[in-house]
Structure 1
Amino acid sequence: MSGIDVISSSIIGMASDAPPISRLELSPFDLRLLLLDPIQRGILFRNPKFHKIDIPRLKTSLSRTLDFFPPLAGRLGSTAHGDGTTSFFMDCNNAGVEFTHAVADGISVSDIIDPNYIPEIVPSLFTLNGIPNYEGVSNPLIGVQVTELADGLFIACTANHAAIDGVSFWHFLNSWSEITRGCTTISKRPVFERLLPTTVDGGPIRLPPLEKNLWRSFARPPLLERVFHFSKESVAKLKAKANGEAGTNRISSLQALSAHLWRSSMRCRQGTGGGEAGFMMSVSARARIPLPDGYFGNAAYGARTAISEAELLQKGLGNTALKINEFVASHTKECVEKFVSDWAENPKLHGKGGYSFFISSSPRHNVYGNDFGWGKPIAVRRGNGQKVDGMVTVYPAAEAGGIDAEVFLAPEVMRAMEADQEFMEAFTIGEYAYSL
């Protein structure tokens, strides 16, 4: 497999002369992520006609899209205070985003999607690798790399996670694809009004000195990464089984799938039943507060719970799924508001690790609506950012109703899951069947 040749790299600013806003404050949901990695997602396209990709057109449409998202064309701003604390904000200075054009003639679409495990070449399809969110004070908040493959195209986007969450990320990418297709405006405008606390007693939220050494010293353990496809029929069976065992109809598709993955990973970690099994899931505040459609920024947090290994392993799918359902339901509007206010009074930045199983992202994101003019994507992949043992990133599958789970596990745990009949039976269905 050949390497990747960078053809050009440039900074793209807004098309308009002056940003409509000059500054955007950061909420607790934004600030708590400063020590973490950026969001890295990329979408893969097949190019059956082998036509030349119009790179200048992509640059122009990106510039016009930034007109609707001026904070993303800026940088993080910071203010040092006399007591040793620092406050952060988004400086809408139109310093620009990074755009990289690369070519990988020796790499095909099948090289990316056919292997059981995500190949090492995939992280190389992203730019701004290894730059934590707090370095957004001097680095672009968005980095795009467009890589032409032998028979396709990969559009990778690295986004500062202190600026946007997954919902806002896909909102931006959806909008860029619309402008590239020739739309004069975007179908959903971002809402920049801050409806979450950004001050304490009238002043900015002040953070203690960032423990940057925690980010630099974090050593990523060896991991295997694989995308497990769960068809619409498979997801429906898991949901029906979970609700049937629990004697309810409240358990959602994602909750049933999360329970299945959690139980399987713990079973394959050879849990003895005598310890505690931790669980973390991204909980959205958008519908709970609620926030307007198009709210720009972060509006989610990782909520934690735990049950005994014995209960997880012995009481079945329905019991675990019901525990997840009750856990999610407990995060009410009042709970979210208390979390935000408590954090603003006593800021604590989110560090890496600290959990054994974490469900991130959402199967509701509009991944396959990103048509840049050459058809819809056929797959989504992520870069190295935020990869830790026990992380599961969920996406909608290419076919409606299905869910893809990108799983990161220690090699021995991953191989044990692949040999686990109960786990494998959930996705050995139809044309997406996998074999051991």
Structure 2
Amino acid sequence: MKMARIDVISSCLVGTTSTDATPISRLELTPWDLQLLQFNPMQRGLFFPKPESDQKSYILHLKNSFSRALDFFPPLAGRLAAVPAADNSFFYFVDCNNAGAEFTHADAPAVSVSHILEPKYIPEIVSDLFPLEGYCNCDGLSKPLLGVQVTQLADGVFVGCTANHAVIDGVSLWHFINSWSELSRGSATISKHPVFDRWFPSSMPDDNRLFPLPALEKIRYPPPPLMARVFRFSKESLAELKSKANSEAGTDKISTLQALSAHLWRSTTRCRGEEDDLSSQEVSIMMAIGARARIPLADGYFGNAFNSSFTKMSTSELLERGLGHAALKINAHVAAQSGEAVIKTVEDWVKNPVVFQRFPPRKRSSVVMIASSHRHNVYANDFGWGKPISALSGKIEQFDGNMKLFPAAVAGGIDVEVCLVPETMQAMEDDAEFMEAMLI
């Protein structure tokens, strides 16, 4: 069906509530942050029931509490800055200048929550529920580092956030949203304050923590021919996957997430290979391994803190040796990502800095990437009129093989937002082994 349009009612820049000097005037970017300067931003959003109060009243309330939340997270009201260095390179950091985050109010009175959540595939209109369209992280040199769009639907409200991934990761973004919702409910302060102390390996002296990088280039790609769908795994189906993986591997150390990741990896690879002989091809699963607990970092550490890590094997090994074998490989690889391993990865980057590019919309891919986390505190975000109905991400990050995890609305389950080229998506839906794992 063709969706009705979404109309933007107003859009403005919102700063902190005080014009006084913020607690932090400049935030240095760490290697974790810098490598994402040319990458895609993050988009996360929540559906809510319709408030009983009138639209003008609750929009103003959300805008005011948004400003108060920025008081505690001043970098998100700032801009990226670049200082010239030698050889046409630049030092990049966050100028906490209170230039403002974007707050947009939109209206879609002919679109209901069910119009978006009930179709098999995530509809195109979802792109219009998020602000800062066509954004790349390097746009933060002139555009807001955070944008929020509140869209009034026929029977609900969608709150969508677009955040600069060179400044903030999923843990910190949900920390901000959690804090914003606390303040919106009437709290005078937030329960967990962000920590802006920067982390660098101890091997790096204090006076050598700036990294010259070339001028940033925004690479544009045409819209990819992709399909996205949410697959829902219940607590019971996840327990069965975990039990099967451990039984096949002869162990009890494979986690629920590792079993699910192995299932997604094997299923996607199997469905990608129906048209071609890929038996000798090497395939990969990419996981962002969290660094906070491994180093460890202070609770509330603000910014990126991860280790991008690949597990690889041949297609034939992955498909022929079963779920347990794949899950055990993932388990061993994750176990090897100790604090020392994470630190070494950062130290290696410092010796040879590389800035990731945006994912191109390639026709076919051999990679599955597991992103986001089912452990994020999603369903506690009550802004004052009820808990979320569902969560969804935007389309700006999508590429073939990208899979984002969300906690399910029913405790214990995991929702997996899967993005694939159309022929692979169709094959997945026709794949009995994949689909039956959700029916338990």
TM-score in terms of structure 1 length: 0.95
1:206 alignment partner, SS class: coil
- How many Å apart are 1:305 and its aligned residue? 2.4
- How many Å apart are 1:360 and its aligned residue? 0.5
- How many Å apart are 1:374 and its aligned residue? 1.2
Question: How many Å separate the matches in 2 of 1:207 and 1:349?
Answer: 12
CA contact (8 A) 2:35 2:355 kept: yes
CA contact (8 A) 1:282 1:360 kept: yes
CA contact (8 A) 1:126 1:383 kept: yes
Is 1:320 aligned to 2:337, yes or no? no
CA contact (8 A) 1:391 1:409 kept: yes
Question: How many Å separate the matches in 1 of 2:148 and 2:131?
Answer: 7
1:136 alignment partner, SS class: helix
Is 1:158 aligned to 2:158, yes or no? no
Is 1:265 aligned to 2:268, yes or no? yes
Q: Which residue of 1 aligns with 2:251?
A: 248
AA paired with 2:207? Answer: G
Q: Which residue of 1 aligns with 2:225?
A: 222
The count of residues paired between Structure 1 and Structure 2 equals 427
- How many Å apart are 1:47 and its aligned residue? 2.1
Of 372, 382, 402, which residue of structure 1 is paired with 2:413?
402
Q: Percent identity?
A: 57
Question: How many Å separate the matches in 1 of 2:366 and 2:298?
Answer: 31
Q: Which residue of 2 aligns with 1:72?
A: 76
- How many Å apart are 1:195 and its aligned residue? 2.2
For structure 2, list consecutive stretches of 5 or more residues without a partner in the other structure: 360-364
Is 1:123 aligned to 2:115, yes or no? no
Q: Which residue of 1 aligns with 2:13?
A: 11
CA contact (8 A) 1:85 1:206 kept: no
Is 1:366 aligned to 2:377, yes or no? yes
Q: Which residue of 2 aligns with 1:203?
A: 208
AA paired with 2:148? Answer: V
Is 1:344 aligned to 2:350, yes or no? yes
Q: Which residue of 1 aligns with 2:362?
A: none
Question: How many Å separate the matches in 2 of 1:323 and 1:74?
Answer: 42
CA contact (8 A) 1:255 1:325 kept: yes
Q: Which shifted more, 122-131 or 350-359?
A: 350-359
Question: How many Å separate the matches in 2 of 1:200 and 1:85?
Answer: 21
In the TM superposition, 1:273-288 aligns within 5 A as 273-288=279-294
1:210-267 Cα deviation digits (max 9, x unpaired): 4625x22x34531110000000001111011101111111111111000001100000
CA contact (8 A) 1:87 1:205 kept: yes
CA contact (8 A) 1:174 1:366 kept: yes
2:102 alignment partner, SS class: strand
AA paired with 2:177? Answer: L
Question: How many Å separate the matches in 2 of 1:208 and 1:107?
Answer: 45
For structure 1, list consecutive stretches of 5 or more residues without a partner in the other structure: 430-436
Q: Which shifted more, 346-355 or 9-18?
A: 346-355
AA paired with 1:212? Answer: E
- How many Å apart are 1:272 and its aligned residue? 3.3
CA contact (8 A) 1:260 1:423 kept: yes
Q: Which residue of 2 aligns with 1:434?
A: none
In the TM superposition, 1:227-238 aligns within 5 A as 227-238=230-241
AA paired with 1:391? Answer: N
- How many Å apart are 1:205 and its aligned residue? 2.8
Q: Which residue of 1 aligns with 2:395?
A: 384
- How many Å apart are 1:137 and its aligned residue? 1.1
Question: How many Å separate the matches in 1 of 2:229 and 2:25?
Answer: 42
- How many Å apart are 1:48 and its aligned residue? 7.5
Q: Which residue of 2 aligns with 1:184?
A: 188
